[in-house]
Amino acid sequence: MKIAIVFGGSSYEHEISIVSAITMKKVLKNSELSFIFVDKNRDFYLIDSDNMKSSLFSSGKYKKSKNITLKSGGFFVDTMFGSKAIEIKVALNLIHGRDGEDGKIASLMEFYKVPFISPRVEASALSYNKLYTKFLAESLGVKVVEYQHLCKNDERKLTLSYPVIIKPVRLGSSIGVSIIKEESQLEYALDVAFEFDSDVIIEPFIDGVREYNQAGTKSKEWELSIIEEPQKEEFLDFEKKYMDFSRDEQVSKASISTELSDKIQETFKKIYDPLFLGSIIRCDFFVVGGEVLLNEINPIPGSMANYLFEDFEAMIERVASNLPKEHTIVIDYQYIDSIQQAKGKA
């Protein structure tokens, strides 16, 4: 299958996106891949598969690659003989953070009629923003971790008890995130978070909480990953998550009861369908007092959470063959014609 891996973007998570794309080269071994890099200026480049190394991007040598334009029907390379289409069956959106997860790329793909695997515009808007994710979950009857929302110009008054975790609303990969255990740390932690975003979410830091990751998609049928219980550390910082995004080997299944597994999977389905059709997402859950709470939605998880699936490549092909179709609107100008005819009769 011919797949375009779209990565990079104008995002704080730009480098993590590069790591994810390089990982896809290892994972999608039987597919014909085209690598489409979006640089910090949002220019598109076609990267030769043999050159898919992190140093190509950090050195700026990627600029010697062919420029790409996006037109109706797909990606095009300009040649001496005109524009040549890059033949693909589907584009896989691997831009983490802004541009990829906020709906910009999804909008472009839909506008130019490019088949793509990624959350659609509405799903992107709701899952990119941690506050809107809370609203979405609550509207679906899914329980969430208690939270407080603060804007940059709000009074810095905490309504939750310490310790708490502070997160920028529109960022992932632990960027700008702090755990604070006493009031003296609050001002500095908020200053750090507000460097990256105008809004923050504050949540109780639950020491020793049981956390589980569930990924999945729905093509013709549900395709759910194993449930993973991630390594237990107080906090996974940017560097640890950076390395985590390069995983390409399946991890071990969490040792949990069938009852808990069913609860997690049913909650995942409630969140996914129908808003996230056409995408592969990962939800991170906390289990507190036997209740499943949504922590976060990862609309474009690191390396697409390939390590949670038994046959990730085959699943990609099934998703690509069952993408949601945008409704076709017939425009026939009957209304304008009827007005013109009426004017002619007057």
Query: For 45-61, what is each residue's pLDDT tens digit?
Result: 999 999 999 999 999 99
Per-chain mean pLDDT for the chain? 92
Q: Residues 212-223: pLDDT tens digits?
A: 999 999 999 999
Whether 38 maps to a domain, the answer reads yes
Both 214 and 263 in one domain: the answer is yes
Give the total number of structural domains in the chain.
3
What digits encode the pLDDT tens for the residues 139-155? 999 999 999 999 999 99
The owner of tokens 């896809």 is: 24
Residues 200 and 80 in one domain: no
Grade residue 10 by pLDDT with cuts at 50, 70 and 90.
Answer: very high
Q: How far is CA 53 from CA 60, 185, 212, in A?
A: 12, 40, 32
Q: Which CATH number fits the domain that encloses residue 193?
A: 3.30.1490.20
Same domain, yes or no: 140 and 278 = yes
Judged against a pLDDT cut of 60, whether residue 255 lies above it is answered with yes
Cα–Cα dist 139/298, whole Å: 18
238 pLDDT higher than 70? no
Residue 134 lies in a domain: yes
Residue 58 domain boundaries: 2-118
133 and 250 together in one domain: yes
Q: Which residue has the higher pLDDT, 208 or 41?
A: 41
What 8-state DSSP symbol labels residue 137? H
Query: Which tens digits make up the pLDDT trace of 161-188?
Result: 999 999 999 887 678 899 999 999 999 9
pLDDT tens for 105-149 read 999 999 999 999 999 999 999 999 999 999 999 999 999 999 999
234 & 246 share domain? yes
The candidate with the shortest Cα–Cα distance to 96, out of 282, 230, 270, 341, is 282
